[in-house]
Structure formats: C-alpha cells, structure tokens
Amino acid sequence: MIRRLAIAAVAASLAAWLPLAQAQLPVPVAGKLAANGIAEDSISALVLRGDTTLLSHLADRPMQPASTMKLVTTLVGLETLGPVFKGRTELRSNADLVRGVLKGDLVLRGGADADFSGEVLEKMLQTLRNQGIYRLAGNLVLDRSLFSPTRSDVGLAPFDEAPEAYYNVIPDALLVNKNMLQIDMRSSASKLTLVMQPPLEKVSIVADMRLIDTDCAKWEDGWKLPEAQQKGGRIEVVLHGTFPKNCARGYSINVVDRQEYVGRLFRATWKRLGGWFSGDVIEGVTAPDTRILAEHAARALPEVVRDINKPSDNTLARTLFLSLGSLEADPVLGSRPVLYASADTTQARADMAVRNWMRGHGINDAGLVMENGSGLSRIERISPVQMGSLLKAGLRSDWSPEFQASMPIVAVDGTMRRRLHDSPAAGHARMKTGTLTNVVAIAGYVRDALGRQCVVVAMINSEQANNGKGRAVLDALVDWVARSGAEQPPAQ
C-alpha cells in the first residue's frame, strides 16, 4: 500500500512538472477560462519547443486569427520579396518640355509605396520645378494599375461602424497619406475651432458638434460618423455629434474619395510651388514610352514589417499582401512588377503566393483562408498547427532577426506594452496579438524558465471573449510557458 502511494505521488509530481502533449489545458489557463465563462472548446492552442509538442488543444482546427494573420503576410513577404524590397512612386511623361511647359500628360504611377505622403509628393513636384517645368499642359493621370482591381474599396460595404477610421482604410497602389485627413479639434466653453491637414484645394471643414460638459478623455463617446459633402466644385467635410468643452484632441479620418484627395492635394501643392495646371485628374495606365521625371522609394521591407506588426497596422499589411501578388524582388531596385494574366485578381495571386510558400516549407494549407492578409476579416482562417509551423519556419529563416524584431515585446512596446508586467515573459517574449469582436489571439515566441525557445499560438473564438476576458486567458498561457521547465523531476 505504501509503495502504491509512493508511485502515485511520483506520478503526480511528474504530471505537474511535464507540460503534457495532449488536449488537457494547463491549470492556470483552464482556471481563467472557467472564471470568465469561456468554454474550453472555444480555444485552440499549440505550444512547441523544438520538435516537441508541449501542448496541443484542438490545434488543427481553423480559427479566426484576427491580427495574428499579419505574421503570415510579413514572414512570407520577407522570404518572397526579400529584405531590400521597396515600393515605389514615379512621376512620368512622354511629353516634350518646351520653354517650361510640359506639352502633354503627367503620370503619377503608384507602386505600393508604403511611405508615399504629402511631403514626398511635394519633394517630387519640386524636382519637376527644378527641371524648369512650371506649366502642365495636359492632364494628371493616376496609374493604380499595379493592383487589380485598381479600387477594391469602391462599392465595398463597411467592415464595422467606423469606416472613417484609419484601421479600416483599404489600400490601392497609389495611396497618399493613407487617404487620411488630420483634424485638430480645440474647444473653449463656447466655441469649437477646427484645423485640417493637409490642405486640399477647395476642401474645407465645418462641424455641427454640440459642446457639452463632460470629461475630455471621453470625447469619442459623442463622436458621430463624419461626411464629405460635394457643393459645386468644392468639398465640405462635416463633423457630427458632441464634443467636450475646454478640450483639445486630434483625430485622423478617411472621408474624402481618394481620387478627389490625390487630385486636390496635387493641385494645392503644385500651386504653392509656383506651378500652373488647368487640366483634369483622370485614371489611366502608364504608356511604355514614358520617362521618369521624379521618383520615390519607400523604406526597405524590414522597416515596413516592423511598422506592420508592432502597432498592428492593417493598411500596411494589406498593401504588403497585395504586393505579394503584383511585385517580385529585384536585387537592384528593390522591387519590380510581375507579369500576370489580366483575368487574375491581385488578391488571388497573393493568396497563391502564400500557399506556394507554405507548401514549399511542408506546411499543409488545407483550411487556410486569406482575404486581405491583415486579419481584419470575418472569413480569414488559420489553424494553430499552421501558424505554429510558420513560426518554426521563421526561426530558421535567413530573415529571422528582422521578423522577430518586428513583433511586440511583452510589457515593453507595440500592442503588448500594457500586458504581463509581472510575468517572467516581460521584456523577453515576442508576441503578435489579434483582436476582433468575439475573437482574441496571440502567436509568437516565449522562452521558458530554462531559456529554451517555445512557439506559442492560441486563438479564442467566443462571444464571451470580449471585455478583456479572452485576453486574460491568453496572458495566463504565455505566463505558464514562461514559468515552465524550472522544476526538476523527483529523484528515482
């Protein structure tokens, strides 16, 4: 009897020490699930250490990953396009320059330039002025043809109740300032003052917002969807709702159609530089005989990838995803267009690029669904097994340092800066987060108590996962991994 008890005690001790490779969840994780009313079958999780599976709970089930899907886009982007890849913007023309007049159309050609801004456009136009060009006799042609369709935002229903917000911006190949207007709102006890940047030709801003007595920190509670109203040849941006008295806040909005945005920004900037232009702003495709008059290259891909994963930037992620379907690496220029059948959509080609990469790394892509590569989707799906295999490939990648450096550091920066400050994972683990209504997820790298690198993936799809409840469960998993491995099995 004593011997049986001793054997049982040893077995129990071993069970506590060994992270079991089975569907049973760790006690801290199961406890958080129960405390928050989340069913155990709502979470899929996988923890790997090298070739050892430490935890597998419904890990082969495709789940909504939210923004952890950005890890797929960024790693495949680094591996496929390479670390010197750069999006590009060009000003081109085949027209003659006669006594300061460009006798034809000027083409603004988009090349998935993640850094194309109003300041960049001004520098490019100044380059034209430096060449002696003061008058444009033709039209301004906007070439967005790198992506097909060129305007995937047109006619698309809003993702949620905030279509004006930056996280909802749908990219095209010629997106300047992410199509955002920066609004500075300042109120006194009786007056609201508005300033809009950048200045666009014949675009003004007004508000019918009512000033109320409330905490300035809660200003968004009274925010209503703004709109852009056409009035003849002018556009009036109108803000609605309420705003606190004696408050100052800044907010960026996407309300002006991007064709109008680019055209009016161009006209205002060219005029400010002393140029003259009376033509139209039209859509078109660059003719093959055009020459470059000015150009801009974005930062190298590792820097852009960092800006995707640290703050979880949807628009940049979507731009990179579409670049997978339209561009390929060029060792000299950083990128070059790929020739595809015109019937193919860029999204379909990007999807195939991801699947080809996965298959090339021995990862089964069955059940994978990619809509835009950012995770801002209700149809995207990936399993923890697939995500875990991708993260293992990331550790072996030539660009592993760049990939890992792009991920939020637990308790330090990015979307993990406020989490797990009291955990041994703080300052060490690198985790990409994901959040949608009814969805929370994490994926990344956590070192255990003995310094061994572990791959951790977990996704919760449940109506009970909101309001921080699901996040508490995932934090418990990361903390459990960071603390695991310190105990030693009892002597035999």
Backbone angles phi, psi at 98, to 5 degrees: -125, 110
Angle between helix 258-272 and helix 118-130 axes, rounded to 10 deg: 40
Q: Three-class SS of residue 42? A: helix
> In the predicted model, is pLDDT for residue 456 greater than 70?
yes
- C-alpha distances out from residue 135 to 91, 123, 269, 311, 323, Å: 15, 17, 13, 42, 34
Higher pLDDT among residues 238 and 17, named by residue:
238
pLDDT band at 99 (very low <50, low <70, confident <90, very high): very high
Mean pLDDT of 438-460: 98
> In the predicted model, is pLDDT for residue 298 greater than 70?
yes
- C-alpha distances out from residue 108 to 93, 116, 295, Å: 9, 12, 10
pLDDT band at 24 (very low <50, low <70, confident <90, very high): confident
pTM for this model (two decimals):
0.91
Q: Smallest Cα–Cα separation from 73: which of 441, 373, 329, 375? A: 373
* H-run or E-run covering 32: helix 27-35
Share above pLDDT 70 across residues of the chain, in percent, rounded to a whole number: 91
Contact call for residues 178 and 315 (beta carbons, < 8 A): yes
> In the predicted model, is pLDDT for residue 330 greater than 80?
no
Q: How far is CA 384 from the centre of its chain?
A: 20
pLDDT band at 258 (very low <50, low <70, confident <90, very high): very high
> In the predicted model, is pLDDT for residue 411 greater than 80?
yes
A 10 A CB-CB count for 430 gives 21
Residue showing tokens 């941006």: 237
Q: State the DSSP string of 456-487.
A: EEEEEE-GGGTTTHHHHHHHHHHHHHHHTT-S
> In the predicted model, is pLDDT for residue 343 greater than 60?
no
**How many degrees, rounded to 5, is the angle at CA 163 between CA 158 and CA 167?**
110
pLDDT band at 290 (very low <50, low <70, confident <90, very high): very high
**How many degrees, rounded to 5, is the angle at CA 83 between CA 82 and CA 89?**
90
A 10 A CB-CB count for 131 gives 13
pLDDT band at 19 (very low <50, low <70, confident <90, very high): very low
Q: What is the pLDDT of residue 331?
A: 60
Share above pLDDT 90 across residues of the chain, in percent, rounded to a whole number: 89
CA 482, CA 424: separation in Å to the nearest integer?
6
Tokens at 352, concatenated = 């195939």
Q: Which amino acid is at 281?
A: V
pLDDT band at 341 (very low <50, low <70, confident <90, very high): very low
Q: Which amino acid is at 177?
A: N
pLDDT band at 11 (very low <50, low <70, confident <90, very high): very low
Taken in order of first residue, the domains within the chain and their CATH numbers are 17-83+303-483 (3.40.710.10), 88-150+259-297 (3.50.80.20), 181-253 (no CATH)
A 10 A CB-CB count for 292 gives 12
Q: Which amino acid is at 358?
A: M
pLDDT band at 177 (very low <50, low <70, confident <90, very high): very high
